Amino acid sequence: MHKRILPRGFPIIIAAALALGSCGSRAAAEGTAPAGTGRSETAHEAPAAMNKKLTFIELGSVNCVPCKAMQPIMEEIRVKYPDQVEVIFYDVWTSAGRPYGAQYGIRVIPTQVFLDVEGKEFFRHEGFFPIEQLTQVLRQGGVKL
């Protein structure tokens, strides 16, 4: 009789993979998630965005672990660059936010979409986006850091 030995951290790896995988699953996106706090305007409807250098759109959910990790980063960008960057969050697991997930053709959450002053997408990232890398995209979009 052969005894199979799994790596010591195997159950943790499986649990983490399932947790992260559910963030981007279509079934989860179409399930009944609690209502979130997504903003309901597009960059085209937000007059303040027209005066800014760029718009940073976060498409995620308040119930997704990597999305929750993005919340303090979004707040830091709002506070540091209020005159240059419009930060918009859509909870795509809600009926109000779901259309924005379709509009931007997201595959996983969180997804960050960056629009230039004319409202054209110039950069996109999927997954957690560390502040150090995100600020490089802001600089690329003309934000004075």
Annotated domain spans of the chain: 29-140
Contact 129, 112 (CB under 8 A): yes
Average pLDDT over every residue of 115-141: 97
Is pLDDT above 70 for 44?
Answer: no
Dist CA 67 CA 19 (whole Å)? 12
The CATH number, out of the four listed (3.40.50.720, 3.40.47.10, 3.40.30.10, 1.20.1250.20), of the domain defined by the range 29-140:
3.40.30.10
pLDDT at 39: 42
Handedness of CA 81, 115, 29, 93 (dihedral sign): positive
- pLDDT band (50, 70, 90) for residue 50: low
Q: What is the pLDDT of residue 30?
A: 37
pLDDT in tens, 88-101: 999 999 999 999 99
Find out whether the peptide bond into 7 is cis, omega within 30 degrees of 0. no
CA dihedral sign of residues 140, 48, 33, 73: positive
Residue 97: per-residue pLDDT: 98
